[in-house]
């Protein structure tokens, strides 16, 4: 059992971690109890709570109106730390913008393949068309080959994302840990996917706690079953004061 107290900084992935993954990424639903739980935890942690996601900050804010939690969006390309927002400008990525148009044409006749244009990155989803996985992956890798070393492919669950090479959840968690109120605190990062592994690496290096939701190979130290299990754990911590993680539940 791990009794987690107020000396921590809490970093939380969004899809598959705080909320269940849905077939169409724009249809995701936030549990009505979640904003209240996060607000209480944020108070408990002196403000050191942030959502670390591949989604744009604007999309996440839209799911939490009227709350504006600290966040890293687009795998860290944009972030809000202690309320100060730094955004990514799509105009600084002209080659990517051109590629998004090309990708939209390439997949136009592929039913079930979705292109999610995030401005400074683009995701190719095949959750609705699992048989198109090889095509989607090959398309993503060909796009990055054409774009050159400034971009890379980030693999996820039924998704491949093309994003600037500088982006990464580990890097942005490091950035938070250099700034108040995160600085000097022991980090916790909860995630569910390949894209979260370098976040786990960063918090492990800081002597923190890494938590993986669901099955799959991982370097995380603790595993929980589902987003609902995590929400229960977070609620216990928020309203009872401790987070007694015992493996598959709290
Ligand atoms: Mg996730």
**39 alpha carbon to ligand 1 midpoint, in Å?**
21
CB-based contacts of 198, cutoff 8 Å, min separation 6: 168, 169, 170, 171
- For residue range 78-87, what is the model confidence (pLDDT) as tens digits? 999 999 999 9
**20 alpha carbon to ligand 1 midpoint, in Å?**
9
Q: Is 245 helix (H, G, I), strand (E, B) or coil?
A: strand
Provide the pLDDT for residue 247.
Answer: 59
76-92 burial by CB neighbour count: b if 16+ within 10 A, else e? bbbbbbeeeeebbeeee
Q: Of these residues, 3, 7, 13, 26, which one is catalytic?
A: 13
CA distance 86 to 182: 17
Quick check: is 7 catalytic? Answer: no
**113 alpha carbon to ligand 1 midpoint, in Å?**
19
Provide the pLDDT for residue 23.
Answer: 84
Distance of CA 250 to the CA centre of its chain: 22
Domains for the chain: give ranges and CATH numbers: 8-88+167-240 (3.40.50.1000), 90-164 (3.30.70.1020)
**163 alpha carbon to ligand 1 midpoint, in Å?**
16
Pairing status of strand 122-125 against strand 114-117: antiparallel
pLDDT above 70: residue 3: no
- For residue range 188-235, what is the model confidence (pLDDT) as tens digits? 999 999 999 999 999 999 999 999 999 999 999 999 999 999 999 999
CA distances from 237 to 40, 94, 98, 220 (A): 9, 45, 46, 20
Mean pLDDT of the chain: 93
CB 26 within 8 A of CB 60: no
- For residue range 46-83, what is the model confidence (pLDDT) as tens digits? 999 999 999 999 999 999 999 999 999 999 999 999 99
**65 alpha carbon to ligand 1 midpoint, in Å?**
21
In the numeric block, the tokens 């730094």 are attached to 86
pLDDT above 60: residue 248: no
Strand order, beta sheet including 114-117: 114-117, 122-125, 159-164, 151-156
pTM for the predicted model, two decimal places = 0.90
**210 alpha carbon to ligand 1 midpoint, in Å?**
14
Q: Is 87 helix (H, G, I), strand (E, B) or coil?
A: coil
**132 alpha carbon to ligand 1 midpoint, in Å?**
21
Q: Rounded to a whole number, what is the distance in angstroms from the first to the last CA of the chain?
A: 9
pLDDT above 80: residue 160: yes
pLDDT band at 5 (very low <50, low <70, confident <90, very high): confident
Q: Is 74 helix (H, G, I), strand (E, B) or coil?
A: helix
Rounded mean pLDDT of 11-36?
Answer: 94
Pairing status of strand 114-117 against strand 151-156: unpaired
Provide the pLDDT for residue 2.
Answer: 60
């Amino acid at each position: 059992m791990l009794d987690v107290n107020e000396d921590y900084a809490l970093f939380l992935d969004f899809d598959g971690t705080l909320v269940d993954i849905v077939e169409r990424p724009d249809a995701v639903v936030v549990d009505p109890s979640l904003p209240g739980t996060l607000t209480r935890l944020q108070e408990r942690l002196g403000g050191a709570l942030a959502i670390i996601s591949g989604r744009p900050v604007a999309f996440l804010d839209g799911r939490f109106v009227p709350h504006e939690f600290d966040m890293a969006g687009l795998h860290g390309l944009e972030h809000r730390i202690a309320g100060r927002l730094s955004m990514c400008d799509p105009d600084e990525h002209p080659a990517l913008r051109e590629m998004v148009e090309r990708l939209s044409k390439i997949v136009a006749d592929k039913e079930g393949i979705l292109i999610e244009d995030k401005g400074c990155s683009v995701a190719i989803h095949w959750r609705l068309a699992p048989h198109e996985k090889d095509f989607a992956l090959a398309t993503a890798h060909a796009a990055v080959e054409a774009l050159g070393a400034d971009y890379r492919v980030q693999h996820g669950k039924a998704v491949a994302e093309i994003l600037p090479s500088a982006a990464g959840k580990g890097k942005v968690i490091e950035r938070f840990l250099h700034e108040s109120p995160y600085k000097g605190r022991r980090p916790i990062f909860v995630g569910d996917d390949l894209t979260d592994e370098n976040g786990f690496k960063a918090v492990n290096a800081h002597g923190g706690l890494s938590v993986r939701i669901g099955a799959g190979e991982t370097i995380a130290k603790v595993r929980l079953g589902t987003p609902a299990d995590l929400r229960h754990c977070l609620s216990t911590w928020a309203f009872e004061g401790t987070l007694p993680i015992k493996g598959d539940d709290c």
